[in-house]
Amino acid sequence: MANSFSVPAKASPILGIATLLFAVAIFIVDTFTPFDMAIAVLYVVVVLMAANLFDRTGLLLVAFACMALTITSYFLSHSLHVDTALVRFLVSLTAIIITSILVLANQTATKTLREKAELLDLTHDSVLVRHMSDDIITYWNRGAEELYGWPSEEAIGKPSHELLRTVFPEPIETINAEIVRSGRWEGDLVHRKRDGSQVTVSSRWSLLRNERGQPMSVLETNTDITERMQAEEAMNQVQAQLAHVTRVATLGELTASIAHEVNQPLAAVVTNGEASLRWINRDVPDMEEARSAIARMISEAKRASEVIAKTRAMSRKTKPEKVGVDIKDLVDEIALLIQRELINHRVLLRLDIPQSVPAVAGDRIQLQQVIMNLLMNGVQAMTTVTGRERELVVGAHNHEADQVLVSVRDTGVGFTPDDETRLFQAFYTTKNEGMGMGLSISRTIIEAHGGRIWASRNPDAGVTFQFMLPAMPSSEVAAPAAKAG
């Protein structure tokens, strides 16, 4: 049995013979010697020895036999009178009866405990029990043997965290404080098996207290989630690659707009450069005007560099990194890239984002992609609109204590009730030239950030897309990500 509660399957023949001889010896001494003492009380030892030999029925038979021997011995050596011999006789019988009751109760409890231990051996999960004070393992089920490789004989008696080289998601002091406070803890742990390989488990701890309410032991149940974690990691990689492809494709659609945003400052650089030369080549060089022209050249060059840097950042394949992201800064950066699209489609972009809106916790590039998808959807939805203003409003405000709600509202053509149920499905699109991946990827990104996204039709015209993200606590807001150069 893979636990510390098991008892021997077969009783030792030597123990059986010793029990019989001991009972006979007690009978002889009690019957044929003049000792003035309750010799028959020693039959309780026979009952205790029999507890390791017989089941409930056998134990009852032994108890009755011991009482019968006590009664027989008394009447063989004494007459029935109220004297000290009778008191010793009654004390012996009482001791045998009480011991038998206690042993039967203990045997029942042991049987129940063994059955529960056997049930724990049937589970595929790893189950172990360890002392709260010193982490020593006291129980190790078959599931633990199969998962980690150590048989119970080698695991029991050793500190669990040392044996498994446990990697915790937070300091062990914090975890212990939580389990003492609430009586339970759950989280993912990394353990090392006997063969040296690592395994990731979903671990659930429950605290057992003694009768005084003091922490005594911890029941730890571990489920192997290594394959699931690997599958999730593979899925995340696929989703990241798909998001990158979609991001690059969106930038491809904005090529003309981005080229214009780069050419415009470059043309200004050339114009100011030529002006500088004219100011310098005068008979009396006008250095003040030349300096002003050169300063404008530098400013326009930085503007072009900024557009290129943002485009490179959007197109680069990077590992997601959660930082504090300012929504207004995010929208301003995307507005710079799609400015030509807004002008070409005669769309007015308006921001309604108070300074009090906290930063959100997220990956800057991924959230840029969501904003860009929603803004481009809004612009394209208003392409055929006439007779009303084409307006795109981006808003953000606090929602409850720890959430930020972002909305993108357009005055476009809207969608049908049937479209509403399918908007975020992969490859579904209402546009002839669309891939149908933008909104699907946006939902994946938002949900991966612990938020949710949805769309609704406006009462007058158009659509409002909204998403909610956890706010980053002010104490944890990181410095803005460095701009690519």
Model pLDDT for residues 247-276, shown as the tens digit of each residue = 565 555 556 556 655 666 677 777 777 777
Cα separation, 138 vs 159, whole angstroms: 10
pLDDT for position 120: 60
Q: How far apart are CA 106 and CA 26, in angstroms?
A: 25
Number of helices (H), then strands (E), in the chain: 16, 12
Count other C-beta atoms under 10 Å from residue 147's C-beta: 21
Q: What is the pLDDT at residue 434? A: 52
Lowest mean pLDDT among 77-91, 172-186, 356-370, 392-406: 77-91
Q: What is the pLDDT of residues 268-301, one digit of tens each?
A: 777 777 777 877 887 778 788 778 878 878 877 7
Backbone Cα Rg of the chain: 41
pLDDT recorded at residue 1? 43
pLDDT tens digits, residue range 376-419? 888 888 888 888 889 999 999 888 778 899 999 999 888 777 77
Chain segment 424-468, per-residue pLDDT in tens: 665 555 555 555 567 777 888 888 888 888 888 888 888 899 999
Using CB atoms within 10 A of its CB, is residue 17 exposed (0-12), middle (13-18) or buried (19+)?
exposed
| Confidence band for 10, pLDDT divided at 50, 70 and 90 | very low
Mind listing the pLDDT tens digit for each residue in 135-148? 999 988 888 998 99
359 and 477 Cβ atoms separated by less than 8 Å: yes
The predicted pLDDT at position 420 comes to 64
Question: Side chain identity at 225, as an amino acid letter?
Answer: I
Does the pLDDT of residue 476 top 60, yes or no? no
Arithmetic mean of pLDDT, 344-349: 88
Of residues 37 and 9, the one with the higher pLDDT is 37
The answer to whether 280 and 290 are in contact (CB under 8 A) is yes
CATH topology of domain 323-470: Heat Shock Protein 90 (3.30.565)
Give per-residue pLDDT as tens, 188-209.
999 999 999 999 999 999 998 8
Could you tell me which of 358, 446, 459, 462 has the C-alpha nearest to residue 413? Answer: 462
Do 244 and 317 form a contact (C-beta atoms < 8 A)?
A: yes
Whole-angstrom Cα distance, residue 350 to residue 341?
15
Q: What is the pLDDT of residue 433?
A: 54
| Predicted local distance difference test score (pLDDT) of residue 92 | 87
Mean of the pLDDT values across residues 345-369?
A: 86
Handedness of CA 294, 295, 298, 304 (dihedral sign): negative
Crossing angle for the helix pair 13-32 and 56-77, to the nearest 10 degrees: 20
Q: Which CATH code, of 3.30.450.20, 3.65.10.10, 3.10.580.10, 1.10.10.10, is assigned to 123-226?
A: 3.30.450.20
CA dist 143 and 262 (Å) reads 64
Q: How far apart are CA 85 and CA 75, in angstroms?
A: 11
Highest mean pLDDT among 104-113, 311-320, 344-353, 472-481: 344-353
Q: Would you say residue 482 has pLDDT above 50?
A: no
Distance CA 253, CA 443 (A): 21
How far is the C-alpha of 384 from the C-alpha of 431, rounded, in Å?
12
pLDDT at 236 over 60: yes
Which helix (H) or strand (E) segment is 216 a member of? strand 215-224
Nearest to 66 by CA among 49, 86, 84, 79: 49
- The yes-or-no verdict on residue 79 having pLDDT over 70 is yes
Check: CB of residue 199 under 8 Å from CB of residue 224.
Answer: yes
Given this model, what pLDDT does residue 457 score?
86
Query: Is residue 382 within 8 Å of residue 411, measured between CB atoms?
Result: yes
Which pLDDT score is estimated for 4? 41
Average of per-residue pLDDT across 165-186:
92
Could you tell me which CATH class the domain 232-315 is placed in?
A: mainly alpha
The mean pLDDT of the chain is 79
pLDDT of 130 reads 92
Please tell me the distance from the alpha carbon of residue 471 to that of residue 430, in angstroms, as a whole number.
33
Whether residue 239 is predicted with pLDDT greater than 70 in this model: the reply is: no
Pair 230, 258: CB distance under 8 Å: no
How many angstroms separate the Cα of 148 from the Cα of each of 155, 158, 162, 193, 220? 10, 14, 13, 5, 14
